[in-house]
Amino acid sequence: MFDDTEFEMSVTFTSAKTEIISFNPTNSYLYSTPWEQLLNISLCILDKQEFENSLNKLEIELLPLLNEIKYLSFSYDNTTQSVSIFKTLIEKHNFLELSPLIKKIESKNTSEKRRTFLSHQLTNKLNLIKYKPLWQEIHDLINDSQKDYPFEIVTQKTKGTITTFKNKVTNIMQEYGYDGVYPDYYKKSNLKGIHLFEAYNLSYTIAFEKNAVHHIHCEEFINENHIDVWFIYGTEFLKSNQEMTDINTCRFNCKGKKTRIIFKV
């Protein structure tokens, strides 16, 4: 039995072991803009470099591109860096109009403040729907490098619990007229009346759309002993000859033709 007297002590280990579990982060940050999502996932992977043997082969191959994404997303330490991989990709997709802006960001004569401003301009452009093919290629490369890692929910809950949870969400979505399977659902409808939507801090009036597609993507989080679900909702308004896309398309700046909101249950 100890009294209230404070005392100091030290413990010495001859050896110690740590266990590092890498989770798949690709289902996270869907509430962000598309390029914010790429940045956040890139940072998750880059952070693992601090731990020995924590990167797989595909991640190691992606490191140069991930560092370029980090560099192009914001300025830091007034450093300059070549973004040759990114430039090759924009040339591949024929987005050459981005080249002058990237060249200014790369320039040694560009001040840190100016580089930050230019980086912000670049990411604003990259969030336009026009540049989705470029984003999609990088997104798929990153996703492929993470496919062997489990999602956090898999390590925290039993398979039966996860199946029950997913089935419950699907039943709720079907009650509201949605098709699809967890985590993606959609519903087609006509939009009656006049509605006010907001996307990328701009407001749009949408009226009497005949081909509206409502998308919902579920993103789950472990919160102590229960599962929280974020429903990422997006609507796209299609022309008669257009095909339905997915929730990711709704995250891009489409000048009012696609919208996105988030709610949590």
The pLDDT-based confidence of 186 (bands split at 50, 70, 90) is: very high
* DSSP per-residue codes, 178-235: -EEETTEEEEEE---SEEEEEETTEEEEEE--SSEEEEEEEEEEEETTEEEEEEEEEE
Higher-pLDDT residue of 254, 36: 36
pLDDT at 262: 44
Are the CB atoms for 112 and 81 separated by under 8 Å?
no
Are the CB atoms for 71 and 63 separated by under 8 Å?
no
Alpha-carbon distance of 58 to 37, in angstroms, equals 19
Q: Where along the chain do its domains lie?
A: 34-146, 153-264
Residue 211 CA from chain centroid, whole number: 27
pLDDT tens digits along 117-135 = 999 999 999 999 999 999 9
pLDDT tens digits along 129-180 = 999 999 999 999 999 999 998 887 777 777 788 888 889 999 999 999 999 9
The pLDDT-based confidence of 87 (bands split at 50, 70, 90) is: very high
Backbone angles phi, psi at 259, to 5 degrees: -135, 165
The pLDDT-based confidence of 78 (bands split at 50, 70, 90) is: low
Angle between helix axes 57-73 and 132-146 (nearest 10 degrees) is 140
Angle between helix axes 132-146 and 34-47 (nearest 10 degrees) is 30
Percent of the chain with pLDDT over 70: 90
pLDDT tens digits along 29-77 = 877 889 999 999 999 999 999 888 889 999 999 999 999 999 888 655 5
* Cβ neighbours of 257 (radius 10 Å): 20
